[in-house]
């Protein structure tokens, strides 16, 4: 088990290094002159040249990358050009908003998606199964931004129960509608996967043996089929959580949430290159950590993984 976890941890390092190289190159190749953006359109050629030299833009791209990595290792990071704040402070504040949104959305998605999957697997072919599958197909088909605007129109405008387009730190009511919008959409995919995995496990010999020995249908479903059907469900939940933790741009924009997705979108528009590079690296680290956690769960759920 320890060898497996250590091997998976070592395999994560090249991914982060590749993301850092590719992200730095793509951001540096973005259109626009950083020196002109810093000084304004009225800057003279001499001032622009001096600013390029100060930022290191007159050096070759590999030399710029080496300086950036050295400064990153020493935590010697510039301030945001757009806001003037420290970049780690910006990313940390945005991530806290995204984290609350992600955890609330995953709670809704797991509760609803797993519930629909259990109902469908318990009564396959029934009207309950038909309703659950219809809801899952509808959830997959509905765009999240359309559902977000619908929830706003109903519960913030028509019935002013929740706030409209404003985020107040510490006020969880601002996150109810965005969590519902994302959770309803994400629950659809989880419901389909859980139904298929549970039905497959129920056809296996150990489930039929447990049923023949007198176990109830719910007992076989929850005690026998569900633990063995968790591997594909963990895969879906891990990818969904990683996507939510890296920022849901459309949802954050509709509800006015200052999360990671909104931060990266603002950095792209303002050509705030260092904010964008560090945000991309932070997002990649989240993806790697979540995938590593999923691998650990695989090894815990299925002994064949850790002994492979």
Q: How confident is the model at residue 85 (pLDDT cuts 50, 70, 90)?
A: confident
- CA distances (Å), origin 214, targets 64, 194, 196, 202, 209: 70, 25, 24, 15, 9
Alpha carbon 204 to chain centroid distance? 34
Q: Is the pLDDT of residue 35 over 70?
A: no
Confidence at 7, pLDDT banded by 50, 70, 90: confident
What pLDDT is stored for residue 56 in this prediction?
66
* Comparison of pLDDT for 70 and 32, the residue scoring more: 70
Which residue would you say has higher pLDDT here, 188 or 165?
Answer: 188
Average pLDDT over residues 23-28: 75
Q: What is the mean pLDDT of residues 58-78?
A: 74
- Mean pLDDT score, 85-94: 84
Reading the block at residue 260, the tokens are 């990671």
Is residue 40 pLDDT above 60, yes or no? yes
Q: What is the pTM of this model?
A: 0.81
Beta bridge partners, 86, equal: 79
CATH of 93-306, one of 1.10.420.10, 3.40.50.300, 1.10.1030.10, 1.10.3720.10: 1.10.3720.10
Evaluate if residue 307 carries a pLDDT over 60.
no
Of the CA atoms within 13 Å of residue 209, those in its CB half-sphere come to: 4
- Cα distance between residue 89 and residue 93, in whole Å: 6
């Amino acid at each position: 088990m320890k060898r497996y976890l250590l091997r998976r941890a070592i395999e994560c390092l090249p991914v982060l290094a590749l993301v850092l190289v590719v992200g730095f190159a793509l951001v540096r190749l973005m259109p626009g002159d950083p020196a002109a953006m810093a000084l304004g359109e009225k800057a003279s050629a001499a001032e622009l040249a001096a600013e390029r030299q100060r930022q290191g833009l007159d050096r070759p791209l590999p030399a710029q990358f080496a300086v950036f990595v050295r400064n990153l290792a020493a935590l010697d990071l510039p301030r945001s050009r757009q806001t003037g704040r420290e970049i780690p402070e910006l990313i940390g504040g945005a991530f806290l908003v995204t984290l609350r949104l992600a955890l609330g959305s995953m709670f809704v998605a797991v509760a609803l998606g797993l519930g629909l999957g259990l109902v469908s697997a318990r009564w396959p072919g029934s009207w309950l199964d038909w309703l659950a599958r219809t809801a899952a197909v509808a959830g997959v088909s509905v765009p999240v931004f359309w559902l977000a605007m619908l929830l706003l129109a109903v519960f913030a405008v028509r019935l002013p129960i929740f706030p409209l387009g404003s985020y107040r730190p510490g006020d969880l009511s601002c996150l109810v509608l965005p969590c519902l919008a994302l959770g309803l959409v994400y629950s659809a995919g989880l419901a389909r996967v859980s139904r298929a995995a549970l039905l497959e496990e129920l056809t296996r010999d150990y489930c039929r043996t447990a049923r023949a020995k007198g176990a109830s249908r719910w007992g076989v479903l929850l005690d026998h089929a569900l633990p063995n059907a968790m591997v594909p469900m963990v895969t879906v939940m891990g990818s969904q959580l990683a996507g939510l933790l890296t920022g849901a741009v459309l949802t954050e924009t509709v509800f006015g949430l200052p999360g990671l997705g909104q931060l990266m979108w603002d950095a792209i528009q303002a050509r705030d290159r260092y904010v964008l590079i560090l945000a991309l690296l932070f997002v990649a680290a989240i993806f790697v950590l979540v995938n590593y956690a999923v691998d650990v769960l695989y090894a815990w759920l299925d002994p064949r993984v850790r002994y492979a």
